[in-house]
A and B are shown apart, each in its own frame.
Chain A
């Protein structure tokens, strides 16, 4: 195959609500190449989140195929999916989703613990990543002691822990004011320039405009 990291073919996702089944995605197909910066946009209820869950291997499609890094992942065992999430995907969430009882250091270290990386290698990598996002001095602080922008920087550092192919960011600036949001966007731009494939789920036109390409969803279909 070529250099596509994500290849989605005719994906359908249906939810059963009692007797009626509702389709959140109605046959979506697209391809994302290595090193692209993509925005997935659309109004709320358009199927953005469902698509993100499937791309992020948190959920599986009802029908259709999904190749991630040339591996068909739409029917893998949950443990295999966990491994893919751990090694190939880095998540950044709107509400940061840091573990409150761990320090910034501990949060960034977590995906590497799940990957079974040795302690000294982990420490070295965490320090590099905290340096990259400009949070070295806050290493021992808990999330509650940090601002929203700082927490999102830690979340970005965490998403990079196992050096994944793809960064999947779900409204990464949604909970931040515009100035801080911009600094986070700059951080993503820096990562993109260094060669990462980044997919941003957003309904903010300013964020979408900074991306190379837009995939716009409406009622579960690509416009």
Chain B
């Protein structure tokens, strides 16, 4: 019974460490994957309002981007490419007798490229010629396609957006489920930015996304861009609220730190569970030494050396922990496989990787040595005469 409970503790400890590390790792990978959908090493700029006076201009002045600002930004030598976007929510879309409200975005093709907006192979994205000619073409988010068309093919059909007909030229590839980042586009329809601005009578755009030419000089580029817009729109370059900046490189640092913290925390919980289990093993080994005192005495009389006695008990506690560890490993594998099938949102795909197995093995080995060492030392230092007398 005692052995069984200890074994259970060991199995549980191993499972806890492995699962926590595996889930932590999965979470990190998932976040990194989601990040990449938003476009790696891109910087997003949204106009805000001033909070500092500048050259006689007051505070709380709205800053606005117009479509020409994208080309102005592109002309900077440190910019690789840039794209603009404008959007609005809750727009009625209709196909035959089905209708529903979704988000609508007007985009430049460069924006789509920078944001990894990927279109299924049977269609195409918004292109430059669509923008120049203000065509009424649309690319649908996969959720819109599913709602309005079901299994029916959408490309080549017409839908009505705000009662105007649009030709569907493409449907988005389904992306990884969004949890951490909102902007996943599955319920957005994309049309050329020029078409959008004419249709809604917009003079300004919502945001600009750019990619620096030299990623290593990301910070410098950002400063150049800020100063460029500060001169253009007349605001203090130190005014952080005039343009709101979302730098993906910053976000990936944040995610790395966040998930590392999460893993460390989960790991610590697992390690503590393991310590409790190891104390159990130490306890049981002490009882075993006591129960086998007579046997140790006999073996000593027959000439066993102290280190051989010690080795025997350390070996036995290792055996205990290895059995517990193997059970824990198997259970973790099964649970990970189960979680993969269940596909729980926000969990990612936990897997017992080499890294997870290695850390667990190290922790287990340390626990086994610690649990076995002291009882084994006690056994090896028994007085042979006393041990032989033991009843």
Binding site for B on A (CB under 8 A): 53, 56, 58-59, 78-79, 82-87, 91, 93, 97, 99, 110-111, 114-115, 158, 162
Q: Chain A contacts of B303 at CB under 8 A? A: 82-87, 111, 114-115, 162
How far apart are A191's CB and chain B's nearest CB, in angstroms? 18
Q: Are B385 and A79 in contact (CB under 8 A)?
A: no
Contact of B385 among A58, A83, A97, A158 (CB under 8 A): A58
B388 at the interface (CB under 8 A from A): yes
Q: Are A111 and B305 in contact (CB under 8 A)?
A: no
Q: Are A78 and B388 in contact (CB under 8 A)?
A: no
With A85-B303, A110-B302 given, is the CB distance from A58 to B295 under 8 Å?
A: no
SS of A interface (majority): helix
Beta-carbon contacts under 8 Å, B283-321 to A: 294-295, 298-308
Closest to B308 in A: A114
Q: Chain B contacts of A87 at CB under 8 A? A: 303
Q: Chain B contacts of A82 at CB under 8 A? A: 300, 303-306
Q: Are A58 and B388 in contact (CB under 8 A)?
A: yes
Q: Chain B contacts of A78 at CB under 8 A? A: 306
Q: Are B301 and A91 in contact (CB under 8 A)?
A: yes
For chain B, give the interface size range: 10 to 19
Total cross-chain contacts (CB, 8 A): 53
A114 to B307, CA, bound (A): 12
Q: Chain B contacts of A86 at CB under 8 A? A: 302-304
26 residue pairs of the A-B complex, CB under 8 angstroms, read: A53-B385, A58-B300, A58-B301, A58-B384, A58-B388, A59-B383, A59-B385, A78-B306, A79-B305, A79-B306, A82-B304, A82-B306, A83-B303, A85-B301, A85-B302, A97-B298, A97-B301, A99-B295, A99-B298, A99-B299, A110-B302, A114-B302, A114-B308, A115-B303, A158-B302, A162-B303
How far apart are A223's CB and chain B's nearest CB, in angstroms? 25
Q: Chain A contacts of B302 at CB under 8 A? A: 85-86, 91, 110-111, 114, 158
Q: Are B305 and A97 in contact (CB under 8 A)?
A: no
SS of B interface (majority): helix
The 5 closest A-B pairs by CB, nearest first: A86-B303, A85-B303, A58-B384, A111-B302, A97-B298
Closest to B297 in A: A97
How far apart are A11's CB and chain B's nearest CB, in angstroms? 15
Binding site for A on B (CB under 8 A): 294-295, 298-308, 383-385, 388
Q: Chain A contacts of B384 at CB under 8 A? A: 58-59
Of the candidates A56, A82, A97, A110, the one having the most CB atoms from chain B within 10 angstroms of its own CB is A82
Q: Chain B contacts of A93 at CB under 8 A? A: 388
Q: Chain A contacts of B294 at CB under 8 A? A: 97
A160 to B36, CA, bound (A): 77
A99 to B238, CA, bound (A): 85
A53 to B383, CA, bound (A): 11
How far apart are A34's CB and chain B's nearest CB, in angstroms? 21
Q: Chain A contacts of B383 at CB under 8 A? A: 59
A79 to B307, CA, bound (A): 9
Q: Chain B contacts of A111 at CB under 8 A? A: 302-303
Q: Are B304 and A114 in contact (CB under 8 A)?
A: yes
How far apart are B156's CB and chain A's nearest CB, in angstroms? 82
Q: Chain A contacts of B299 at CB under 8 A? A: 99, 110, 114
Q: Chain A contacts of B295 at CB under 8 A? A: 99
How far apart are A146's CB and chain B's nearest CB, in angstroms? 17
A176 to B304, CA, bound (A): 28
Closest to B302 in A: A111
A59 to B298, CA, bound (A): 14
Supply 6 further A-B pairs (C-beta < 8 A) apart from A79-B305, A84-B303, A91-B302: A78-B306, A85-B300, A86-B303, A91-B301, A99-B295, A114-B308
How far apart are B293's CB and chain A's nearest CB, in angstroms? 13
